[in-house]
Amino acid sequence: MRFIIVAVALWVGPLLVPAPAQEPVDLELVLAVDVSRSMDFDEQLIQRKGYAEAFRSKEVIGAITSGLHGKIAVTYMEWAASSLTRVIVPWTVIDSEASSLAFADALDQQLPQRLSRTSISGALDAAETLFGSSGYSGMRRVVDVSGDGPNNEGLPVTISRDRLVGDGIIINGLPLMVRPSSYGYGITNLDEYYEDCVIGGPGSFMIGVRNWDEFPQAVRRKLVLEIAGSIPRLERASFVMPIQDKGRPSVDCMIGERIWQQRMRGWEWR
Protein backbone atom coordinates (compact mmCIF):
# COMPACT_ATOMS: atom_id res chain seq x y z
CA MET A 1 0.00 0.00 0.00
CA ARG A 2 2.82 2.41 0.82
CA PHE A 3 4.34 1.79 -2.59
CA ILE A 4 1.06 2.58 -4.31
CA ILE A 5 0.63 5.86 -2.41
CA VAL A 6 4.16 6.99 -3.26
CA ALA A 7 3.71 6.07 -6.92
CA VAL A 8 0.47 8.03 -7.17
CA ALA A 9 2.10 11.04 -5.54
CA LEU A 10 4.95 10.92 -8.06
CA TRP A 11 2.51 10.68 -10.93
CA VAL A 12 0.28 13.55 -9.79
CA GLY A 13 3.04 15.84 -8.60
CA PRO A 14 4.24 17.15 -11.98
CA LEU A 15 0.69 18.06 -12.94
CA LEU A 16 0.52 20.46 -10.01
CA VAL A 17 3.64 22.42 -10.95
CA PRO A 18 2.51 25.90 -12.11
CA ALA A 19 3.53 27.14 -15.55
CA PRO A 20 6.27 29.77 -15.64
CA ALA A 21 4.83 33.25 -15.14
CA GLN A 22 4.73 35.41 -18.26
CA GLU A 23 5.78 39.03 -18.02
CA PRO A 24 2.79 41.35 -18.52
CA VAL A 25 3.08 43.99 -21.25
CA ASP A 26 0.64 46.35 -22.93
CA LEU A 27 1.26 44.86 -26.37
CA GLU A 28 2.95 41.91 -28.05
CA LEU A 29 3.87 43.12 -31.53
CA VAL A 30 5.28 41.14 -34.46
CA LEU A 31 6.66 43.36 -37.22
CA ALA A 32 6.47 41.18 -40.35
CA VAL A 33 8.29 42.88 -43.24
CA ASP A 34 8.29 41.77 -46.88
CA VAL A 35 11.72 41.20 -48.46
CA SER A 36 10.57 39.48 -51.67
CA ARG A 37 12.48 40.06 -54.91
CA SER A 38 9.82 42.43 -56.22
CA MET A 39 11.52 45.11 -54.11
CA ASP A 40 15.08 46.14 -54.85
CA PHE A 41 17.75 46.38 -52.18
CA ASP A 42 17.43 50.15 -51.77
CA GLU A 43 13.69 49.82 -51.14
CA GLN A 44 14.31 47.13 -48.55
CA LEU A 45 16.78 49.42 -46.82
CA ILE A 46 14.15 52.19 -46.77
CA GLN A 47 11.80 49.79 -44.99
CA ARG A 48 14.39 48.73 -42.41
CA LYS A 49 15.53 52.28 -41.72
CA GLY A 50 11.92 53.48 -41.56
CA TYR A 51 11.19 51.11 -38.70
CA ALA A 52 14.47 51.92 -36.97
CA GLU A 53 13.80 55.65 -37.11
CA ALA A 54 10.26 55.13 -35.84
CA PHE A 55 11.59 53.54 -32.66
CA ARG A 56 13.91 56.53 -32.25
CA SER A 57 11.01 58.97 -32.50
CA LYS A 58 9.52 60.75 -29.51
CA GLU A 59 6.00 59.89 -30.68
CA VAL A 60 6.59 56.12 -30.57
CA ILE A 61 8.59 56.20 -27.35
CA GLY A 62 5.89 58.35 -25.73
CA ALA A 63 3.15 55.93 -26.82
CA ILE A 64 5.08 52.98 -25.37
CA THR A 65 5.74 54.54 -21.98
CA SER A 66 2.22 55.93 -21.63
CA GLY A 67 0.48 52.54 -21.49
CA LEU A 68 -0.89 50.79 -18.43
CA HIS A 69 2.30 48.80 -17.95
CA GLY A 70 4.50 51.31 -19.76
CA LYS A 71 6.14 48.62 -21.87
CA ILE A 72 5.64 46.47 -24.95
CA ALA A 73 7.29 43.32 -26.32
CA VAL A 74 8.28 43.47 -29.98
CA THR A 75 10.09 41.31 -32.53
CA TYR A 76 11.10 42.10 -36.13
CA MET A 77 10.79 39.40 -38.78
CA GLU A 78 11.43 39.44 -42.54
CA TRP A 79 9.54 37.13 -44.89
CA ALA A 80 9.10 36.04 -48.51
CA ALA A 81 8.08 32.44 -49.34
CA SER A 82 6.26 30.38 -46.71
CA SER A 83 9.49 28.60 -45.80
CA LEU A 84 11.58 31.78 -45.88
CA THR A 85 11.19 33.79 -42.69
CA ARG A 86 14.02 35.30 -40.68
CA VAL A 87 13.87 36.89 -37.25
CA ILE A 88 16.13 39.94 -37.32
CA VAL A 89 15.55 41.08 -33.73
CA PRO A 90 14.09 38.55 -31.26
CA TRP A 91 11.48 39.37 -28.64
CA THR A 92 12.58 42.50 -26.81
CA VAL A 93 10.91 44.50 -24.05
CA ILE A 94 10.82 48.23 -24.71
CA ASP A 95 9.99 50.27 -21.61
CA SER A 96 12.11 53.41 -21.96
CA GLU A 97 13.85 55.67 -24.42
CA ALA A 98 17.08 53.72 -23.93
CA SER A 99 15.52 50.34 -24.73
CA SER A 100 13.66 51.77 -27.74
CA LEU A 101 16.90 53.23 -29.11
CA ALA A 102 18.65 49.91 -28.50
CA PHE A 103 15.96 48.10 -30.51
CA ALA A 104 16.43 50.60 -33.34
CA ASP A 105 20.20 50.08 -33.24
CA ALA A 106 19.71 46.30 -33.43
CA LEU A 107 17.74 46.78 -36.66
CA ASP A 108 20.75 48.57 -38.15
CA GLN A 109 23.14 45.68 -37.43
CA GLN A 110 22.06 43.38 -40.29
CA LEU A 111 21.31 44.02 -43.93
CA PRO A 112 18.06 42.74 -45.49
CA GLN A 113 18.13 39.80 -47.91
CA ARG A 114 16.14 39.55 -51.14
CA LEU A 115 14.19 36.28 -51.18
CA SER A 116 11.77 34.60 -53.59
CA ARG A 117 7.95 34.43 -53.67
CA THR A 118 5.32 36.23 -51.59
CA SER A 119 3.57 34.27 -48.87
CA ILE A 120 1.60 36.56 -46.58
CA SER A 121 0.00 33.43 -45.13
CA GLY A 122 3.46 32.07 -44.32
CA ALA A 123 4.32 35.34 -42.57
CA LEU A 124 1.13 35.14 -40.50
CA ASP A 125 1.81 31.49 -39.62
CA ALA A 126 5.35 32.38 -38.50
CA ALA A 127 4.02 35.28 -36.44
CA GLU A 128 1.57 32.97 -34.69
CA THR A 129 4.46 30.68 -33.76
CA LEU A 130 6.43 33.64 -32.41
CA PHE A 131 3.52 34.62 -30.14
CA GLY A 132 3.46 31.09 -28.76
CA SER A 133 7.08 31.35 -27.62
CA SER A 134 7.26 35.03 -26.64
CA GLY A 135 7.29 34.54 -22.87
CA TYR A 136 5.09 37.64 -22.47
CA SER A 137 1.44 38.21 -21.70
CA GLY A 138 0.17 41.14 -23.73
CA MET A 139 -3.12 42.92 -23.25
CA ARG A 140 -3.21 42.82 -27.06
CA ARG A 141 -1.36 40.76 -29.68
CA VAL A 142 -0.81 42.42 -33.06
CA VAL A 143 0.86 41.43 -36.33
CA ASP A 144 1.99 44.43 -38.36
CA VAL A 145 2.47 43.03 -41.89
CA SER A 146 3.89 45.06 -44.79
CA GLY A 147 4.17 43.96 -48.41
CA ASP A 148 4.06 45.04 -52.04
CA GLY A 149 2.03 42.20 -53.56
CA PRO A 150 -0.70 39.64 -52.96
CA ASN A 151 -0.17 36.17 -51.54
CA ASN A 152 1.07 33.78 -54.25
CA GLU A 153 2.50 30.84 -52.30
CA GLY A 154 1.61 28.72 -49.29
CA LEU A 155 -1.86 28.55 -47.77
CA PRO A 156 -4.58 30.90 -49.01
CA VAL A 157 -4.12 34.06 -46.97
CA THR A 158 -7.69 34.04 -45.65
CA ILE A 159 -7.16 30.66 -43.97
CA SER A 160 -4.19 31.94 -41.97
CA ARG A 161 -5.88 35.29 -41.29
CA ASP A 162 -9.05 33.68 -39.95
CA ARG A 163 -7.11 31.29 -37.73
CA LEU A 164 -5.11 34.09 -36.12
CA VAL A 165 -8.16 36.30 -35.67
CA GLY A 166 -9.98 33.36 -34.08
CA ASP A 167 -7.10 33.12 -31.62
CA GLY A 168 -7.53 36.77 -30.63
CA ILE A 169 -4.66 38.16 -32.71
CA ILE A 170 -5.16 41.45 -34.57
CA ILE A 171 -3.64 41.83 -38.05
CA ASN A 172 -2.84 45.30 -39.39
CA GLY A 173 -1.46 46.08 -42.83
CA LEU A 174 0.99 48.37 -44.57
CA PRO A 175 0.45 47.77 -48.31
CA LEU A 176 3.25 49.26 -50.42
CA MET A 177 1.93 50.62 -53.72
CA VAL A 178 4.97 52.62 -54.74
CA ARG A 179 5.43 51.17 -58.23
CA PRO A 180 4.28 48.24 -60.38
CA SER A 181 5.89 44.92 -59.56
CA SER A 182 9.13 44.34 -61.46
CA TYR A 183 8.14 40.71 -62.09
CA GLY A 184 4.49 41.27 -63.01
CA TYR A 185 3.01 39.64 -59.91
CA GLY A 186 1.60 42.82 -58.35
CA ILE A 187 -1.90 44.29 -58.44
CA THR A 188 -2.98 47.93 -58.64
CA ASN A 189 -5.57 47.69 -55.85
CA LEU A 190 -3.29 46.23 -53.19
CA ASP A 191 -4.88 48.44 -50.53
CA GLU A 192 -8.28 46.90 -51.27
CA TYR A 193 -6.71 43.43 -51.23
CA TYR A 194 -5.27 44.07 -47.77
CA GLU A 195 -8.62 45.41 -46.60
CA ASP A 196 -10.58 42.38 -47.81
CA CYS A 197 -8.07 39.55 -47.49
CA VAL A 198 -5.30 40.34 -45.00
CA ILE A 199 -6.25 42.53 -42.04
CA GLY A 200 -8.58 41.29 -39.35
CA GLY A 201 -9.59 41.42 -35.71
CA PRO A 202 -11.18 44.14 -33.55
CA GLY A 203 -10.04 47.60 -34.67
CA SER A 204 -7.78 46.23 -37.40
CA PHE A 205 -6.61 48.80 -39.94
CA MET A 206 -4.12 49.53 -42.68
CA ILE A 207 -2.21 52.49 -44.04
CA GLY A 208 -1.35 52.44 -47.73
CA VAL A 209 1.96 53.88 -48.96
CA ARG A 210 2.16 55.24 -52.53
CA ASN A 211 5.52 56.99 -52.31
CA TRP A 212 8.68 55.95 -50.47
CA ASP A 213 8.96 59.46 -49.06
CA GLU A 214 5.76 58.70 -47.11
CA PHE A 215 7.07 55.48 -45.62
CA PRO A 216 8.82 56.78 -42.46
CA GLN A 217 5.77 58.86 -41.48
CA ALA A 218 3.40 55.98 -42.26
CA VAL A 219 5.37 53.55 -40.09
CA ARG A 220 5.60 56.02 -37.23
CA ARG A 221 1.88 56.78 -37.33
CA LYS A 222 0.97 53.12 -37.61
CA LEU A 223 3.08 52.15 -34.60
CA VAL A 224 1.65 54.96 -32.47
CA LEU A 225 -1.90 53.84 -33.30
CA GLU A 226 -1.10 50.19 -32.59
CA ILE A 227 0.69 50.88 -29.32
CA ALA A 228 -1.93 53.32 -28.05
CA GLY A 229 -4.78 51.01 -29.04
CA SER A 230 -6.74 53.94 -30.51
CA ILE A 231 -7.15 52.61 -34.01
CA PRO A 232 -9.29 53.57 -37.03
CA ARG A 233 -10.64 50.82 -39.26
CA LEU A 234 -8.36 51.70 -42.15
CA GLU A 235 -6.58 54.49 -43.97
CA ARG A 236 -6.72 53.71 -47.65
CA ALA A 237 -3.76 55.81 -48.71
CA SER A 238 -1.55 58.47 -47.25
CA PHE A 239 -3.51 59.40 -44.11
CA VAL A 240 -6.95 59.95 -45.62
CA MET A 241 -10.06 59.62 -43.47
CA PRO A 242 -11.18 56.06 -42.70
CA ILE A 243 -13.69 54.62 -45.13
CA GLN A 244 -16.88 53.26 -43.59
CA ASP A 245 -18.48 51.66 -46.67
CA LYS A 246 -16.48 49.93 -49.40
CA GLY A 247 -19.04 50.64 -52.12
CA ARG A 248 -17.20 48.20 -54.43
CA PRO A 249 -17.04 44.46 -55.20
CA SER A 250 -14.94 42.36 -52.88
CA VAL A 251 -11.42 41.54 -54.04
CA ASP A 252 -10.55 38.02 -55.19
CA CYS A 253 -8.37 36.82 -52.32
CA MET A 254 -6.76 34.20 -54.61
CA ILE A 255 -5.71 36.77 -57.22
CA GLY A 256 -2.01 36.38 -56.41
CA GLU A 257 -2.12 32.61 -56.85
CA ARG A 258 -4.03 32.98 -60.14
CA ILE A 259 -1.49 35.47 -61.50
CA TRP A 260 1.36 33.12 -60.56
CA GLN A 261 -0.32 30.15 -62.28
CA GLN A 262 -0.94 32.18 -65.44
CA ARG A 263 2.68 33.32 -65.53
CA MET A 264 3.92 29.76 -65.06
CA ARG A 265 1.69 28.51 -67.90
CA GLY A 266 3.10 31.29 -70.06
CA TRP A 267 6.65 30.13 -69.37
CA GLU A 268 5.75 26.55 -70.33
CA TRP A 269 4.93 27.70 -73.88
CA ARG A 270 8.27 29.43 -74.37
* Whole-number pLDDT of residue 20: 54
Query: 22-240+252-268 maps to which CATH number?
Result: 3.40.50.410
155-172: average pLDDT: 97
pLDDT in tens, 17-30: 444 568 999 999 99
* Whole-number pLDDT of residue 178: 86
User: Side-chain half-sphere of 169: how many Cα atoms within 13 Å?
Assistant: 25
Does 51 have pLDDT greater than 90? yes
Whole-model pTM above 0.95?
Answer: no
192 φ/ψ sector (left φ>0, alpha ψ -120 to 50, else beta):
alpha
Selection from 241, 149, 240 nearest residue 188 by Cα: 149
Cα angle 115, 221, 201 (rounded to 5 degrees) comes to 75
Q: Any idea where the domains of the chain sit in the sequence?
A: 22-240+252-268
CB 73 within 8 A of CB 34: no
60-65: average pLDDT: 97
